[in-house]
Amino acid sequence: MSKLLTIGSMAFDAIETPFGKIEKTMGGAANYIGISASLFDIEQAVVSVIGDDYPSEYLKVLTDREIDISYIEIVNGGKTFFWSGKYHNDMNTRDTLTTQLNVLEHFSPKIPEYFTDAPYIMLGNLHPQIQLDVLAQLPTRPKLVVLDTMGFWMNHTWDTLLKIIAQVDVITINDEEARQLSNECSLVKAAQKIMQMGVTYVVIKKGEHGALLFHEKDIFFAPALPLEDVFDPTGAGDTFAGGFLGYLAKTDDISFNNMKNAIIYGSTLASFCVEQFGTERMLSLTKDEVLKRLLQFKELTQFEIKIA
């Protein structure tokens, strides 16, 4: 069974959307990624940090999915990372209202020895130095390292960010971040520039407008499933990454053709994530529902062109 190791934040989120408000829910990249990837039969460990205010029923969500949590550091007297945000009416843009790093500020992840040989590594959005430190703990080069990052690190830790980008295989960023990172408006040019920074695959997430996968001269595109309502986009990007990497780990095939499937799986899982607040929908999700929606994706995108 393929091993997937995820390093990322665990958090309390407070979310406000045009549809409602939730004061405190389970959040953070590592949770979304772990839960999403758990839809595949793979071996998972999550490395993160929390305060002792973090409820054990949140941890149980991971252990129920047979995710190894033994290297999630619990800081005595520490407070868990807290994020709050408010979405605008179009659901495409949001304001971050609060970011309290708390215990995340001094996060120094330790990789379980029995996971240092994991072929699949997900570096969730964190300070790029932390991401570098993780790779430095691995005795051999993993098969595939996926990096997530955001604009904040481009503004504040540019040189360190460039170092980690040069050491990973795949970067997942949104369209705005791709433009910022490359200083190119065209996403095609942006992806080319980012590949020149040393990464082999670029995944650009465009939210409701789908996702693009770039590799050398190849491009693959998956739309977002058109939904009647997007209830809460929080975590959709991480859920996408979890589906992408979970599928690759399960199939253990990192060819471009198989990455197309991984993108479709990621998009499928993300389409569920946005249907309810936070992780709610992902927690009730069944494999049968996933299969049905994969077929919807096929219907939505596949054609048999006749030349006229």
CB atoms within 10 A of CB 302: 7
Q: Decide: 226 and 269 in contact? Cβ < 8 Å.
A: no
In the list 15, 49, 187, 270, the residue contacting a second copy (rule: CB under 8 A) is: 187
The piece of 55-63, 101-109, 234-242, 299-307 that touches a second copy (CB under 8 A) is: 299-307
Q: In whole angstroms, how far apart are CA 112 and each of 40, 42, 72, 218, 220? A: 21, 17, 10, 36, 35
Taking CB under 8 A as the rule, does residue 227 contact a second copy?
yes
**Binding to a second copy by residue 300, rule CB under 8 A?**
yes
The answer to whether residue 90 forms part of the interface with a second copy (CB under 8 A) is yes
State which residue, 57 or 287, has the beta carbon closest to a second copy: 287
Q: Does 229 bind a second copy (CB under 8 A)?
A: yes
Asked if 56 contacts 129 with a C-beta cutoff of 8 angstroms, the reply is: no
Q: Is 216 in the site for a second copy (CB under 8 A)?
A: no
**Cβ contacts of residue 130 below 8 Å, gap of 6+?**
7, 107, 108, 109
Is 157 a binding residue for a second copy by CB under 8 A? The answer is no
Does residue 212 interact with a second copy by CB under 8 A? yes
> Which positions from 29 to 68 touch a second copy by CB under 8 A, shown as an x/- string?
-----------x----------------------------
247 binds a second copy (CB under 8 A): yes
Q: Coil, helix or strand for 293?
A: helix
Q: Could you say whether residue 71 binds a second copy (CB under 8 A)?
A: no
Coil vs helix vs strand at 85: strand
Footprint of a second copy on this chain (CB under 8 A)?
40, 89-90, 185-189, 206, 209-210, 212, 218-221, 223, 226-230, 247, 250-251, 257-258, 260-261, 264-265, 291, 294, 297-308
